[in-house]
Structure 1
Amino acid sequence: MPSDKPAKRADQLGHRPKRFWKDVTVTDDFGIALDGRAVKTPSGAPLILPNRALAQAVSAEWSAVGEHVDYDAMPLTRLGFAAIDRMPDMQDEIVTEVLRYADTDLICYPSEYPASLTEREHEAWDPVLHWVGHDLGLEFHQNLTLIHQPQPAQTLERLQAFVRGMTPYEQAGLMSATPLLGSVILALALWDGHLTGEAAFSASTVGETFQAAIWGHDAEAEQRRNGMKAHAVSLETWFSALR
């Protein structure tokens, strides 16, 4: 019989409970307390962060809550929930998803034309490819055509071991950053601090920025883009506190 936990989790994160607390504190074990009551994850586990810096960043989200809790405005809290409730039991799924992105990574497939776009992509992406190979030992091949070419098996094996060696908190950030940026390489650069959140997001949207300069900006698309960039910046905060 399938578990109803995902449905319960969605319900709990989807509703907007009214704020009932005055004081937010960080406990000695780096949990979050609201008027002395421990914040718990949707599965009922205490929300415990790995260090004081991250606990303080999460507590700031709870302090900033207005009349109602809005989890959409609390990205660090959501990452904490995911790290505790989901990551430990999803190791195989995490690796599968990361390898899926790595095999067709955005920055390994620059555009064939126009030349001006191709040049901008190489300027943004080539230094990151050099970094991930030199600093992390992950040699990705850049494909100069749109025909899929698999990445070296050794690279994917090393990446798998690398991801499995991360803490659940790091994995939660990586699993959020990778689809956001469309690139596990850019996500790793954000995790490492090699790129800021804004820089990683900018690198992931070279093509969109190029097209917008030609055809103009769409207000709805721009609003969506700003929200995604804000999430990338929150991931920078998350990863920075973990280092």
Structure 2
Amino acid sequence: MSTDAFLERFGTPGARQPDPVAAAQKAMRNALPKRFYESAGVLERDGLFHVALDGKTARTPARKPLAVSSRPVAEALAAEWQAQDQDIDPAVMPITRLVNSALDGVADQHEAVRAEIVRYAGSDALCYRAGEPDNLVERQRAIWDPIIAGTEAALGARFTLAEGVMFAEQPADALEAVARRVAELPAPLALAGAHNIMTLTGSAILALALADGRLDAEQTWAAAHLDEDYQIGIWGQDEEAAERRIIRRKEFDAAALLLKHG
């Protein structure tokens, strides 16, 4: 799931709430603006690291300063802006898109974002297992079981596993433990990163494992694509699917950067 779907399930049943992240993304889908600056860099001011275009702070679609508390994130943002050619194309600026979403959306909706991560934990992809073939079943056990065990140990709770796609309700104490850990994620940057990791992988468990350092980004990506890679090994991968995966990986890496340094 891309950042366009960020927070799309917010709100109570029957009463859809405004989606600030979708609005932030929509603002970047108009005709591409021309590059109007010579250089992009980072300026430290008032305890924040500002993305500076020819010495002036860049702004988000909501006109907030494009400024973050993390120098590594600011430097990555500036590199994206510096890499633009004649046009400024948000499609090739995944870190900028996600930071814009964080500053324009998550900053004012962080409790809803935290609640969404907990909801995902209630139907986490790692808890739903194949019944066959045997080699896929064994691969899921070998890769996913240690990840779940590590998360259970960290949270002091147990998750319920199920075979197939029938819904299996997770224990209330497990979701409460997830909520306590998610409450510790700094907003808005790290929280936005965690949410995007979750939506791209289908797993809050993987997002927390990455946040806690039990997995690195490569291990998280591989675990999330275990089933897909199994199918590719049998049937191969077409060109369009490969291109979509490259795009998702860039979004994933942007989210991992924010989760680590936000």
Question: With structure 2 as the length reference, what TM-score do the two structures score?
Answer: 0.83
Task: Please report how far the alpha carbon of residue 8 of structure 1 lies from its aligned counterpart in structure 2 after TM superposition.
Answer: 5.9
- CA distance, structure 2, for counterparts of residue 184 and residue 6 of structure 1: 20
- CA distance, structure 2, for counterparts of residue 156 and residue 59 of structure 1: 38
Q: Which residue of 1 aligns with 2:210?
A: 190
Deviates most, 181-190 or 92-101: 92-101
Q: Which residue of 2 aligns with 1:14?
A: 29
Q: Which residue of 2 aligns with 1:96?
A: 115
Of Structure 1 and Structure 2, the greater helix share is in 1
Task: Please report how far the alpha carbon of residue 119 of structure 1 lies from its aligned counterpart in structure 2 after TM superposition.
Answer: 0.7
- 1:207 and 2:222 are equivalent in the alignment: no
- CA distance, structure 2, for counterparts of residue 31 and residue 139 of structure 1: 42
- 1:133 and 2:152 are equivalent in the alignment: yes
Determine if contact 2:194/2:259 at 8 Å carries over to the other structure.
no
Task: Please report how far the alpha carbon of residue 145 of structure 1 lies from its aligned counterpart in structure 2 after TM superposition.
Answer: 5.3
Deviates most, 16-25 or 141-150: 141-150
Letter in 2 for 1:96: A
Residue deviations 1:12-54 (CA, integer Å, cap 9, x gap)? 3113211111122211130111012211111111111112222
Residue deviations 1:177-221 (CA, integer Å, cap 9, x gap)? 111001111122222333233321221121111122222222211
Task: Please report how far the alpha carbon of residue 91 of structure 1 lies from its aligned counterpart in structure 2 after TM superposition.
Answer: 3.2
SS in 1 for 2:237: coil
Letter in 1 for 2:144: W
Q: Which residue of 2 aligns with 1:162?
A: 181
The 1:191–1:3 alpha-carbon spacing in structure 2 relative to 1, beyond 3 Å, is: closer
- 1:118 and 2:134 are equivalent in the alignment: no
Q: Which residue of 2 aligns with 1:77?
A: 96
The 1:11–1:188 alpha-carbon spacing in structure 2 relative to 1, beyond 3 Å, is: same
Question: With structure 1 as the length reference, what TM-score do the two structures score?
Answer: 0.89
Q: Which residue of 2 aligns with 1:42?
A: 61
The 1:153–1:32 alpha-carbon spacing in structure 2 relative to 1, beyond 3 Å, is: same
Please point out which of 158, 166, 176 is paired with 2:196.
Answer: 176
Task: Please report how far the alpha carbon of residue 109 of structure 1 lies from its aligned counterpart in structure 2 after TM superposition.
Answer: 1.0
Of Structure 1 and Structure 2, the greater strand share is in 2
The count of corresponding residues between Structure 1 and Structure 2 is: 241
SS in 1 for 2:68: coil
Cα RMSD after superposing both structures: 2.3
Aligned-residue sequence identity (percent) comes to 34
- CA distance, structure 1, for counterparts of residue 160 and residue 191 of structure 2: 24
Structure 1's consecutive aligned runs of 4 or more residues displaced over 4 angstroms after TM superposition are 2-8
Deviates most, 208-217 or 193-202: 193-202
- CA distance, structure 2, for counterparts of residue 92 and residue 4 of structure 1: 14
